[in-house]
Amino acid sequence: MNSLRTIISETGSLKTIICGPPHSGKSVFVLNLLQHLPRQKAYCFRACPDGEGDWSGFSDQVLVEKIRQKGRFDEKFTKFALTSIRNTMKPIFFVDVGGRIDDKNQRIFSECNAFIIVSSELAETAKWREFGEKCGLVCLAELNSVLEGEDEIFDDSTIPLKARVTGLNRGAFPKSKAIACVAKILDNMTQELKDNSSAMIVMDELANNIGVEVKGTRGFNWQGKDLYPAVEAVSYLKTIEDTVTIDGGGAAFVYATLVHAVHPSTVEIRDPKVEKGYVKLPSLKMANGGSKHLNWKVEDRSDYTFMEFSIPDGVFDDTVLPEVIVPEVCHDKGVVVSGRGPIYLSVAIIMAYKNTAWVASFYPQNKEAIIVIRNSSDAPQLGEVIPEIYPLDDVESKQTPLISPEHRWNIVIPANAGAGVTHV
């Protein structure tokens, strides 16, 4: 353990694999574990392209199965995973791997320094323990995952912690003493580490300051009604700073609103997976058809254009972000942007349409879009929700209604809210 503490101190990060056989609840476990740790301190990287993420744990599971897009676990993705792990300086960096003991996972293990086993099969626990230790990692916990019953701590006097964890169903957030115990171990081991953030906008601090509803023990439930207070809180930065850094968890619609609020300042979005630890947002060009780096689907609807992007191989290289070209659209009506990718990619695409009548970010969990930019006097207000928005591959999309006042949120807008912010 002393050697592990030395490694953590030298590297500045506890890089911890979450492993075990398939269908043991690993992704559910790590999402619950994150709820017990400070957001600025802990992050989870999904080293298995199954199309899931934090968003899928908070969403309707039928909808998750419908809209998630699985990628290929090929050499390109493996190299992306290895680079992301090497780059990180997050104090606690979880790596959620697939359920196979193979060469790809051996390479991923070798970039980390510890591992936690979540297994529904006791016989598989020993195999993963042997595999991880052969890769030179320290096992921090062995957790027997069962669907029913109660948590039990078998032995917490030494490392690895041995316990039973229950109820790791998708979309579930059980009150687990086993998960809480694991979190305490991780937090104690990284007490001396700090996230070297130079962010001027820290998402959790902003959310707390403006009174965003708390979600669980770790996050915030950002809603459309929170956007005006957020704009008021940060828009002064564009008058005093040439560069603004944003750090922390949050949906694309929140990030896009903040980026537009500090425009024309240059914005850097923190990402612990990239080499520099942040991505500087470029101004993307626009042309018919869009660029080769992304796949595009465009549908012209009654009073807005629905724009959906996807990443061809499931892995996006941040260094090609300035080369992305977005499809041309009609500027006289709104644009709804949809797509799954890194926050910096989604926000850069949204900002490319900042000169249209209005821009909304699609929120697939609720089948709605939230207004993040408005330029037209008759456009929906910032933060208003357009309900019943359907993806392009959904047959119900043909029934997408027009935006009408009765569908809008009843938002009380301060007289000076967003002053000087909606300009482009």
pLDDT attached to residue 341: 92
- What is the value of pTM for the model shown? 0.65
- What value does the mean pLDDT take over residues 169-192? 86
Q: Under a CB-based contact definition with an 8 Å cutoff, are residues 168 and 145 in contact? A: yes
The C-alpha atoms of residue 113 and residue 220 are separated, in whole angstroms, by 30
Check whether the bond before 229 is cis (ω within 30° of 0): no
Q: In this structure, which topology does domain 2-189 adopt according to CATH?
A: Rossmann fold (3.40.50)
Q: Is the pLDDT of residue 372 over 50?
A: yes
Q: Say how far apart CA 15 and CA 116 lie, in whole Å.
A: 11
Give 344-405 as a DSSP string.
Answer: HHHHHHHHHTTTSSEEEEEETTTTEEEEEEE-STTSPPTT-EE-S---TT-GGGGGPPPP-G
Q: For 389-420, write each residue's pLDDT tens digit.
A: 876 665 344 444 444 433 333 333 333 333 33
DSSP 36: T
pLDDT band at 131 (very low <50, low <70, confident <90, very high): very high
Residue 350 CA, chain-centre distance (Å), reads 17
Burial 303-341 (b: 16+ CB within 10 A, else e): ebbbbbbebeebbbebeebeebbbbebeeebbbbbbbbb
CA angle 289–422–203, rounded 5-degree value: 90
DSSP 230: H
- Coil, helix or strand at residue 43: strand
Higher-pLDDT residue of 284, 200: 284
Q: Is residue 261 within 8 Å of 230, Cβ to Cβ?
A: yes
Query: Do residues 109 and 132 make contact, with C-beta atoms less than 8 angstroms apart?
Result: yes
Alpha-carbon span 424 to 422, nearest angstrom: 6
Residue 59's pLDDT is what?
A: 43
SS3 335: strand
* pLDDT at res. 396: 44
Give the Cβ contact number of residue 147 at 10 Å: 11
CB 248 within 8 A of CB 203: yes
User: What's the whole-number mean pLDDT along residues 92-120?
Assistant: 94
Asked whether the predicted pLDDT for residue 170 surpasses 90, the reply is: no
Dihedral sign computed on CA atoms, order 18, 24, 30, 36: negative
For the ranges 57-61, 84-88, 136-140, 169-173, the maximum mean pLDDT occurs at 136-140
Distance CA 226, CA 213 (A): 9
CB 147 within 8 A of CB 169: yes
Q: What is the pLDDT of residue 217?
A: 55
**Band of residue 73 on the pLDDT scale cut at 50, 70, 90:** low
Q: Where are the domains of the chain?
A: 2-189, 201-407
Name the band, by pLDDT with cuts 50, 70 and 90, for residue 172: low
pLDDT of residue 27: 87
Question: pLDDT category, 67, cuts 50, 70, 90?
Answer: very low
Helix (H) or strand (E) holding 246: strand 243-247
**Between 217 and 25, residue with greater pLDDT:** 25
Select the more confidently predicted residue: 30 or 388.
30
Average pLDDT on 44-67 reads 55
Q: What is the pLDDT of residue 412?
A: 34
Alpha-carbon distance of 203 to 58, in angstroms, equals 19
> Please, which pLDDT band fits residue 96 given cuts at 50, 70 and 90?
very high
Using a pLDDT cut of 70, give the percent of the chain over it: 83
Q: What is the pLDDT of residue 51?
A: 44
Computed over every residue of the chain, the mean pLDDT equals 83
At residue 6, the pLDDT reads 81
Q: What is the pLDDT of residue 193?
A: 77
> Would you say residue 24 has pLDDT above 50?
yes
Nearest to 354 by CA among 414, 283, 306: 283
User: Quick check: helix, strand or coil at residue 316?
Assistant: coil
pLDDT in tens, 213-241: 987 655 788 999 999 999 988 988 887 77
The per-residue pLDDT for range 5-15, each reduced to its tens digit, is: 788 877 788 99
Mean pLDDT of 273-285: 92
What is the distance between the alpha carbons of residues 111 and 302, in angstroms, rounded to a whole number?
50
User: Who wins on pLDDT, 367 or 345?
Assistant: 345
Enter the tokens of residue 150: 């109660």
Judge whether residue 424 has pLDDT over 60.
no
DSSP result, 266-333: EEEEE-TTSTTSEEEPP--EEETT--TTSEEEEEE-SSEEEEEEE-TTS---GGGGGG-EEEP--TTS
